[in-house]
Structure 1
Amino acid sequence: MIFASDLDRTLIYSRRLIEENDKNSVLVERYLGEELSFMKESVINKLKKLRNKVLFIPVTTRTIDQYNRIFGIKDEIKPKYAIVSNGGNILIDGQIDTEWRNKIKTDVDKIINYRFIEKRFLQNFKDTSWINKMIFRDGLFFSIHFKDKNLIDIEELENFKQWAEKNHWKVSLQTRKLYLVPEPVNKWSALIYIKNKEKKKKIISAGDSFLDYPLLINADYSICAAHGELKELIEKNDVKQKHITMTERIGINASEEIISIVENLV
């Protein structure tokens, strides 16, 4: 069995998302001397024990470098596999799986290229002053950073989204970022590749954001963090998605509930 989980706001949380007096959270990521992310100590300990029963796979939109900063996952839990770059890269014991990366390159080369997407995106908006920066991540997808979601012209964005999806690109508007991702680059396809490689039969998944939706909708059993952007979408489609459980707790406390559910399933 596989337990595949998103990281940010599912298992790990930034300082601003945890209580100041939370003594049960430990530092798991540091960057340029700054303490960035934390996990419940109980979650780390339980994940270590779960390794003997399930194949734990971190699944994240983070780039390779961003994932490698999370020493609490990489060095403490030491998962054999990590799916990073939103599924564009798979790490096996920290090394890039070149077979998967070559497949992704072949699939992406068949659709509209990155430069054309970038140009079309910027030309789509009459006013682009809401964009702080547009970054091409791991040579695979764009992340667009902004300060205020209310400054985005939603009608213009929807028009671009419709055009992009016809051309095999996905557009995902998050709380503080907008992602432009080629269709072949997705978390679920990477997970299926590992599932087949390891000859596993079932997948338990966990996540909180729209980019985690393929994981949750396709897994055998899924857990959605109740504070996430996916909550409303899943509740709207509840009849078709009975295999998805919503956590009762929110924030970093939801991570403990997620792991407890997984423990009861394996």
Structure 2
Amino acid sequence: MIYSRAASGDADELVCVEYLDGEPISYLTERAGARLRELARLAVVLPTTTRTIEQYRRIALPGGPFRYAVTSNGGNVLVDGEPDAAWRARAGREAAAGGAGLAEVRAELLRRIDDSWVLKFREADDLFCYLVVNVAAMPAGFLAEWDGWCRAHGWGASQQGRKIYAMPQAVCKSVAVAEVRRRLVEEGELAADAPLLAAGDGALDAELLASADFAVRPRHGELEELGWTSPNLVLTESRGADAGAEMVEWFHTGVRASAATAAKRLAG
């Protein structure tokens, strides 16, 4: 939904929705912002991201605040802005049972990198880690080799722009989204047969997109480079921030279609 100015492409009328140390860093189009506010009044909107809790809290997403949000690639569920401790503990247990611990992964990763091409190394919410790299200087074959080691130890590696993530396979967005959906149905906020619509552009989004009833991805990003597809998937026509606006419109279309189907069922 949001983009750096450089990644926004040819989109006009950008609105800043994230600042870091007082500097604007992330944007969406005015059209996307207005339609996202409308969407939040029509349907349950669940922000879902690989960002840490701290990074997510920097974003002033139109239509918010949102009752629920998923951060840390599914490792955290936020309820009214605060992390659900029980869910975080569960994610930690499943990650620990699924393979190597974060300390082992960190040690192996640090053994493989150097500052000639790595700009930053970060651990995120005590769940996973990632690098910020100079892509042009990154050794050929690094990602494939690192992913091979990760997968043999219950993790996976993924590149999104300048960031390379190492993520436990047990921590994924689809599981956290399913949990929030269960709670919403239980609370009476969502019909049991309400469809799930999802959007994403990175390999860490693929499982969520595949699990949704309907999914959309833009014609840019890691999944585009991989040529990833799914029977329930459609692609945008545009790229950059304009693709973000196009995806919000796609959500609107899906919500209207779902409402029409429900109305016909009730009338019949």
Would you call these one fold, judging by a TM-score over 0.5?
yes
Question: 1:26/1:160 Cα in 2 relative to 1: closer, same or farther (>3 Å)?
Answer: closer
Moved more, 42-51 or 216-225: 42-51
Q: Secondary structure at the match of 1:71?
A: coil
Contact map agreement 2:9 2:241 (CA 8 A) in 1: no
Number of the residue aligned with 2:73:
86
Q: Say if 1:27 and 1:72, in contact at 8 Å, map to a contact too.
A: no
Q: Find the aligned partners of 1:21 and 1:230 in 2 and give their Cα distance.
A: 21
Q: Is residue 256 of structure 1 aligned with residue 245 of structure 2? A: yes
What residue is the counterpart of 2:201 in the other structure? Answer: 208
Q: 1:29, 1:70 within 8 Å by CA — same for their partners in 2?
A: yes
Contact 1:223–1:244 (8 Å) recurs in 2: yes
Alignment partners' CA distance in 1, 2:138 and 2:33 = 39
Q: What TM-score, normalized to structure 1? A: 0.85
Matched, 1:233 2:226: yes
2:144 to 152, 158, 165: 158
Q: Does 1:174 align with 2:160?
A: yes
| Alignment CA distance shift 1:260-1:162 (3 Å) | same
Q: Residues of 1 paired with 2:45 and 2:213: CA distance?
A: 15
The answer as to 2:110 corresponding to 1:122 is: yes
What's the Cα RMSD here?
2.1
Aligned 8 A contact 1:14 1:36 in 2? yes
Matched residue SS, 2:100: coil
Q: Which whole-Å CA distance do the structure 1 matches of 2:2 and 2:72 have between them?
A: 17
Residue 194 of structure 1: CA displacement?
0.9
Between 1 and 2, higher relative CO (CA 8 Å, sep ≥ 6) is seen in 1
Which of residues 117, 124, 143 is equivalent to 1:137?
124
1:109: how far off? 2.4
What residue in structure 2 maps to residue 7 of structure 1? none
Q: From the superposition, tell whether residues 248 and 89 of structure 1 become closer, same or farther in structure 2 (CA, over 3 Å).
A: same
The alpha carbon displacement at 1:150 in A equals: 4.6
2:3 matches 1:17: no
The alignment's TM-score, normalised by the length of structure 2, stands at: 0.84
Aligned residue type for 2:139: I
- Paired with 1:251 and 1:219, the residues of 2 have a C-alpha distance of 23
| Conserved? CA contact 2:39–2:252, under 8 Å | yes
Q: CA deviation at 1:83?
A: 0.8
Separation in structure 2 between the aligned mates of residue 157 and residue 28 of structure 1, nearest angstrom: 31
Give the AA of the match of 2:2.
Answer: I
Q: What are structure 2's unaligned runs of at least 5 residues?
A: 186-191, 256-268
Q: Secondary structure at the match of 2:16?
A: strand
Residue 133 of structure 1, CA deviation: 2.1
Give the conservation status (yes or no) of the 8 Å contact 1:15–1:36.
yes
Partner of 2:189: none
Which has the larger share of strand? 1
Residues 170-213 of structure 1: CA deviation (Å, up to 9, x unaligned)? 11122211101111221111111111221253210011111111
CA distance in 1, matches of 2:9, 2:160: 23
Letter in 2 for 1:203: L
Determine if contact 1:47/1:77 at 8 Å carries over to the other structure: no
- Equivalences, count: 247
**Residues 98/253 of structure 1: CA separation in 2 closer, same or farther (3 Å cut):** same
